[in-house]
Homo-oligomer: A and B are copies of this chain.
């Protein structure tokens, strides 16, 4: 693959609990950070409720426009876990019980002295043709079909599934970033940032203001897939800040 091919992914976070404000999502940041390391850019996230037609619409909007698609949430044993049905409907395939998933669940529940009930067997249901994503935290696996990866909603279980996927997805040159921090209002240096970005077409510069210890400041994050371009932009920015009389902290504040 060409080194400058950019791989993108979309994430669908499924669950009424996020949209009600009851649960603070942790999966967006965790999936985003993991994708960065794989050389894949998270290009869009949608948070949708436990409503099949809404999930189907999001899956169909995103699965063809990105290299990879991920979902979190809705693969458990209860009636509000409808991700598998929604993805199967989006792909127009049936839902089947995956024999290996069934065997995993049988072993898991036997190991803790429980039976594989009808509700638990729901966690072995997959869209026809799907493979499993191992889950070392509990019996129920994640599910992979085509470019779609269905993962758990509980963050530490999602983390285990991401570990299992590490290194299995083709990515591009990772986006690398360096940060310069300044104890100054970002509006003071807005012109400098704009000029530096304009002069370095292969870099993007983000400005992230903060208010700490009673003072305003900002971190400027320069991102690029090209290490030399990044270094050059950092040099230009530091020179411009120094010339204008601003103190700055390489690495960020």
Q: Is A24 an interface residue when CB atoms closer than 8 A count as contact? A: yes
Residues of chain B with a CB closer than 8 A to A48's CB: 44
Contact present for B32 and A19 (CB under 8 Å): yes
Interface residues on A, range: 35 or more
Q: Which of B45, B77, B209, B223 contacts A76 (CB 8 A)?
A: B209
Shortest Cβ distance from residue A26 to the other chain B in the assembled complex, whole angstroms: 8
- Interface locus among A87-95, A126-134, A165-173, A189-197: A189-197
Contact present for B46 and A19 (CB under 8 Å): no
Q: A46-B44, A46-B45, A118-B191 are in contact. Are A206 and B80 (CB under 8 A)?
A: yes
Residues of chain B with a CB closer than 8 A to A32's CB: 18-21
Q: Is A163 an interface residue when CB atoms closer than 8 A count as contact? A: no
Minimum CB distance partner of A109 in chain B: B187
Residues of chain B with a CB closer than 8 A to A79's CB: 190, 193-194, 197, 205, 207
Q: Is A120 an interface residue when CB atoms closer than 8 A count as contact? A: yes
Copies in the complex: 2
Q: Interface 1/0s, chain A 159-180, versus B by CB < 8 A?
A: 0000000000000000101000
Contact present for B47 and A205 (CB under 8 Å): no
Q: Which of B49, B204, B208 contacts A43 (CB 8 A)?
A: B49
Residues of chain B with a CB closer than 8 A to A29's CB: 18, 21, 23-25
**Which of A22, A41, A43, A210 is most buried by chain B, counting CB atoms within 10 A of its CB?**
A22
Q: Is A117 an interface residue when CB atoms closer than 8 A count as contact? A: yes
**Which of A35, A76, A210, A211 is most buried by chain B, counting CB atoms within 10 A of its CB?**
A76
Give 6 closest A-B pairs by Cβ, nearest first. Answer: A21-B32, A119-B190, A21-B33, A45-B47, A77-B187, A79-B194
Name 29 A/B residue pairs within 8 A (Cβ), A-sorted: A16-B223, A17-B208, A18-B29, A19-B32, A20-B33, A20-B42, A20-B175, A21-B30, A21-B31, A21-B33, A21-B34, A21-B35, A21-B36, A22-B208, A24-B26, A24-B28, A28-B47, A44-B48, A44-B49, A45-B45, A46-B47, A47-B47, A76-B186, A76-B209, A79-B207, A80-B204, A117-B191, A119-B188, A119-B191
